[in-house]
Amino acid sequence: MIKYFMLRKRYDRRSGNSGIWGLLTVLAVWLILTLHPCPGHAQSFLTRPAGLNTGVPVSSVVVVNVYPHDSANFTQGLFFHQGFFYESTGLHGKSFLYRKDIKTGKTLQKVKMDQEYFGEGIALLKNKIYQLTWKSGIVFVYNAKTFRKIEQMKY
């Protein structure tokens, strides 16, 4: 209702009967956009995919082990390699790259990112850890054993 009155006042300022025609034009465009399905999607409104009515196989999950983890960490990336967890955490000023003992959860190595970066996912390739940042478009490359930063590049 508020939009209707705002539109009506705006069009009423024009001379003649343009107020009613302007309002009708806006109303017609709104009706067309709201009620007309997009091309190519009309079929999806009318029919269901053939497999939708059949049962989907369900797999069960069995927990084989539980490992300690600091729940305060905002985990963005995680992988397991040679008996250790490698974790990347995010948040400005709280972004780290960690190597952790799998059984105790104890931090064995860590590197803190500068305040301006928000840590994201990590990957291991040829003894290098690649750590992405969020919105900065920067990837940091570390030596996987020493955690020494060896490169920084744009992506």
Domain ranges of the chain: 2-49, 75-154
Q: What is the pLDDT of residues 4-32, one digit of tens each?
A: 334 344 444 444 555 666 666 766 665 56
- 50 alpha carbon, distance to own chain's centre: 31
CATH, domain 75-154, list 2.40.10.480, 3.40.50.1820, 1.10.340.70, 2.60.40.1080:
2.40.10.480
3-class DSSP state of 77: strand
Q: At what angle do helices 2-12 and 18-35 cross, to 10 degrees?
A: 140
Quick one: tokens of 92? 């400005």
More confident residue, 46 or 117: 117
Instruction: Give the confidence band of 1 by pLDDT, cuts at 50, 70, 90.
Output: very low
3-class DSSP state of 10: helix
Q: What is the pLDDT of residues 86-135, one digit of tens each?
A: 999 999 889 999 999 999 999 999 999 999 999 999 999 999 999 999 99
Instruction: Give the confidence band of 3 by pLDDT, cuts at 50, 70, 90.
Output: very low
Q: C-alpha angle with apex 151: 140 to 97, nearest 5 degrees?
A: 35
